[in-house]
């Protein structure tokens, strides 16, 4: 037979406020430690991932094209029911600030002050170029 705590005539006393708060503190600290451990484990797992699918496009009929990044290198891959194939190794796109600096330098060296032509590598194609862009100054 289970004896309820704090019942008259059972010989047990009610827990004090201090004991109750101590128990709540123990439960909260245990829960916080478990949450922190889980977050740290996930963070360490994410840091170790060196393979990442940057973008993927479905082509229908179980076919796809995807950009896969392995550390600093990017690859264009295609796949279907027969397997996965490497289509191209993609060059890194230059930073916007580098393209802008080139454009400003070209403008300062005597090009037409109304328009200037740049060939940024901001988009990535199989050949690594997307064409020319006209920028109005």
Q: Are 118 and 133 in contact (CB under 8 A)?
A: yes
Residue 47 pLDDT: 63
CA 61 to chain CA mean position, Å: 28
Residue 70 pLDDT: 87
Could you tell me if residue 85 is inside a domain?
yes
Residue 5 pLDDT: 54
The stretches in the chain having pLDDT less than 50 are: 1, 112-137
User: Domain containing 75: what range?
Assistant: 50-90
Could you tell me if residue 69 is inside a domain?
yes
Residue 124 pLDDT: 39
* Same domain flag for 85 and 101: no
Could you tell me if residue 54 is inside a domain?
yes
* Same domain flag for 112 and 85: no
CA 89 – CA 68 distance, rounded (Å):
10
Could you tell me if residue 22 is inside a domain?
yes
* Same domain flag for 107 and 126: yes
Please list the residues that pair with 52 across neighbouring strands.
69
* Same domain flag for 42 and 55: no
Could you tell me if residue 9 is inside a domain?
no
Tokens of 10: 């059972």
pLDDT in tens, 72-91: 889 999 999 899 999 999 88
* Same domain flag for 38 and 67: no
The domain tally of the chain equals 3
Could you tell me if residue 23 is inside a domain?
yes
Could you tell me if residue 122 is inside a domain?
yes
CA 10 – CA 46 distance, rounded (Å):
55
Residue 42 pLDDT: 82
CA 2 – CA 37 distance, rounded (Å):
37
Could you tell me if residue 1 is inside a domain?
no
At 66 the three-state DSSP class reads: strand
Question: What's the pTM value of the predicted model, to 2 decimals?
Answer: 0.38
């Amino acid at each position: 037979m289970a004896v309820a705590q704090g019942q008259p005539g059972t010989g047990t006393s009610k827990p004090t406020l201090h004991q109750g708060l101590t128990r709540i503190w123990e439960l909260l600290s245990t829960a916080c430690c478990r949450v922190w451990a889980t977050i740290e484990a996930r963070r360490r797992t994410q840091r170790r991932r060196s393979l990442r699918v940057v973008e993927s496009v479905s082509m229908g009929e179980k076919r796809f094209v995807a950009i896969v990044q392995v550390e600093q290198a990017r690859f264009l891959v295609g796949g279907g029911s027969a397997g996965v194939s490497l289509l191209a190794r993609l060059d890194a796109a230059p930073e916007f600030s580098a393209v802008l600096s080139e454009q400003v330098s070209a403008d300062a060296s005597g090009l037409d002050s109304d328009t200037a032509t740049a060939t940024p590598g901001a988009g990535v194609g199989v050949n690594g170029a997307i064409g020319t862009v006209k920028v109005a100054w």
